[in-house]
Amino acid sequence: MAAVGRVDVAVVGGGPAGAVTALLLARAGRHVAVYAQSRHEALRLDEAPPPSVNPLLRKLGLWDRFLADSGRLGPMVVEAAEQAGAKVLRGACVGKVSRSSTGLRIEADKPALAKMVVDATGRTARVARAFGAHCVPFEKLVCVARVFDISPESAGDTFIEAAPDGWWHVSPLPHRRRIISLFTDAQEAARSRLATVDGWTRAMARTEHVRDLASGVPCGKIRVTTSTSHELAPPVGEDWIAVGDAAFAVDPLSSDGVEFALRSAIGAAEVLLGGDRSAYRRQVADEASAYRRLRASRRVGQPLASRAETSRAVGIDGAAPSRSTEQDAAALA
Measured from the CB atom, the residue of 29 and 91 that comes closer to ligand FAD is: 91
DSSP letter, residue 235:
S
Phi, psi of 101 (to 5 degrees): -65, -20
172 binds ligand FAD (CB under 6 A): no
Q: Which of residues 79-118 bind ligand FAD (CB under 6 A)?
A: 93-94
Measured from the CB atom, the residue of 12 and 24 that comes closer to ligand FAD is: 12
- Binding string, residues 242-261; x marks residues near ligand FAD by CB under 6 A: --xxx-----x--xxxxx-x
Q: In this chain, which of 12, 213, 268, 288 binds ligand FAD, going by CB under 6 A?
A: 12
Q: How many residues can be counted in the chain?
A: 333
- Binding string, residues 115-154; x marks residues near ligand FAD by CB under 6 A: -----xxx---x----------------------------
| Shortest reach from residue 311's CB to ligand FAD, in Å | 15
Q: In this chain, which of 3, 5, 29, 50 binds ligand FAD, going by CB under 6 A?
A: 50
235 binds ligand FAD (CB under 6 A): no
Measured from the CB atom, the residue of 14 and 301 that comes closer to ligand FAD is: 14
Contact region with ligand FAD (CB under 6 A), list: 24-32, 269-277, 292-300, 319-327: 319-327
324 binds ligand FAD (CB under 6 A): yes
Termini Cα distance of the chain: 29
Separation between Cα atoms, residue 12 and residue 121, nearest integer Å: 6
Judge contact between 200 and 224, C-beta under 8 A.
no
DSSP letters spanning 186-233: HHHHHHTTTTSHHHHHHHHHT-SSHHHH--SEEEEEEEEEE--EEEEE
47 binds ligand FAD (CB under 6 A): no
Measured from the CB atom, the residue of 234 and 321 that comes closer to ligand FAD is: 321
Separation between Cα atoms, residue 244 and residue 254, nearest integer Å: 15
Measured from the CB atom, the residue of 111 and 152 that comes closer to ligand FAD is: 111
| Helical H segments across the chain, by residue range | 16-27, 54-59, 63-68, 73-83, 126-130, 186-191, 197-205, 210-213, 257-272, 277-296, 304-310, 326-332
Judge contact between 35 and 11, C-beta under 8 A.
yes
Judge contact between 53 and 280, C-beta under 8 A.
no
| Shortest reach from residue 308's CB to ligand FAD, in Å | 17
Phi, psi of 291 (to 5 degrees): -70, -40
Which residue has the CB atom at the shortest distance from ligand FAD? 257
- Binding string, residues 183-222; x marks residues near ligand FAD by CB under 6 A: ----------------------------------------
Of 77, 91, 74, nearest to 26 by C-alpha is 77
Size of the site for ligand FAD (CB under 6 A): 36
| Shortest reach from residue 96's CB to ligand FAD, in Å | 9
| Shortest reach from residue 246's CB to ligand FAD, in Å | 6
> β-pairing, 217-226 with 112-119?
unpaired
Phi, psi of 60 (to 5 degrees): -85, 0
* Residues engaged in binding ligand FAD (CB under 6 A): 12-18, 35, 37-38, 45-46, 49-50, 93-94, 120-122, 126, 169, 227, 244-246, 252, 255-259, 261, 323-325, 327
